[in-house]
Amino acid sequence: MRISAPRKPRWLESWIGLSLPVRLSSGACAIALVAGLILFNLPLLKVQRVEVVGTSVVSRGQLLQEAGTRVGASSLLLNTQRMASNLLAQPWVASASVRVRWPGKLVISIAALPPVLIYQHGGKELVLAASGAVLGPVPQVPASAPLPTVVDERAGAVAAAGAVALPANLTSALVALAKVCPAAFGVSCSQFVVSPVGALQIKSSVGWVADLGPALTPGQIGSLGPKLEALRTLAARVNLKSPTIKVIYLEDPSQVEVSP
């Protein structure tokens, strides 16, 4: 009877068959891999705390989501430049930077765009940036200069903070229009209205309303220029301060109608 020793596992036979330099190199790689796994999972090298410097209009959790990270992520793998770019792509952000402060602290410096318009919708009064993004409720401390107001009569939920409530080009057009109204038309534009069907109306300080028709798509917003020019031409020959004027129809700038 012949008795043989137990056969070595295949992996051990393969390992023994390798040359010494290859075995040393493989062992070093294995040690480095294990060390790396341990290193990346150390609590001190993970994001444990988040400090927000400046003003954020969204929650800390949403801010982290928009930046593209989370609490518990490895701070060694964070791309802070990409995170800052992600934040700058948000419609409410004016400036942003991200840095890691050891151990385990992420510092996000953020600044929101300034408010340019008061937005009333669904019983709420909010402030918008030039991008059309909601910055939050109207501050209790009034601005040094009154902001123009737009009333949105369309159905639907009120946009959350940070979300876009109105197209950026429409918001910018309304802000610019509020500034030039007195010089262009002889009266102030006290309020703008987006009707339930998306038509834009100008409410003047003397009471009349100018109906400019639909103004939500890029093409419709782009057509506002000829309509406002038609209103300026009308102001040159008609006293727009007259209390007898009730409605000015400008949807077709070639056929302006004034309703007493």
Q: Are residues 150 and 239 in the same domain?
A: yes
Q: What is the pLDDT of residue 44?
A: 57
Q: Are residues 237 and 133 in the same domain?
A: yes
- The C-alpha atoms of residue 181 and residue 232 are separated, in whole angstroms, by 9
Question: Using an 8 Å Cβ cutoff, are 79 and 61 in contact?
Answer: no
Question: Using an 8 Å Cβ cutoff, are 107 and 128 in contact?
Answer: no
Q: What is the pLDDT of residue 260?
A: 80
Domain extent, residue 101, equals: 44-112
What does 65-130 look like in DSSP terms, one character per residue?
Answer: HHHT--TT-BTTS--HHHHHHHHHTSTTEEEEEEEEETTTEEEEEEEEPPP-EEEEETTEEEEE-T
Q: Is the pLDDT of residue 35 over 50?
A: no
Q: Are residues 156 and 53 in the same domain?
A: no
Please state the pTM of the whole predicted model.
0.79
Query: pLDDT tens for residues 219-232?
Result: 999 999 999 999 99
For residue 163, give every residue at least 6 positions away whose Cβ sits within 8 Å of its Cβ, in sequence order, or none: 91, 133, 134
Query: pLDDT tens for residues 60-71?
Result: 999 999 999 888
Q: What is the pLDDT of residue 76?
A: 75
Compute the mean pLDDT over every residue in the chain, rounded to the nearest whole number: 86
Q: What is the pLDDT of residue 179?
A: 93
- The C-alpha atoms of residue 94 and residue 130 are separated, in whole angstroms, by 11
- CA 213 vs. chain centroid, Å, equals 27
Count structural domains, the chain. Answer: 2
Q: Are residues 144 and 100 in the same domain?
A: no
Q: Does any domain span residue 171? A: yes
Average pLDDT over residues 2-27: 54
Q: Are residues 148 and 228 in the same domain?
A: yes
Tally Cβ neighbours within 10 Å of residue 65. 13
Q: What is the pLDDT of residue 141?
A: 63
Q: Are residues 83 and 141 in the same domain?
A: no
For residue 168, give every residue at least 6 positions away whose Cβ sits within 8 Å of its Cβ, in sequence order, or none: 91, 130, 131, 132
* pLDDT-above-90 percentage for the chain: 68
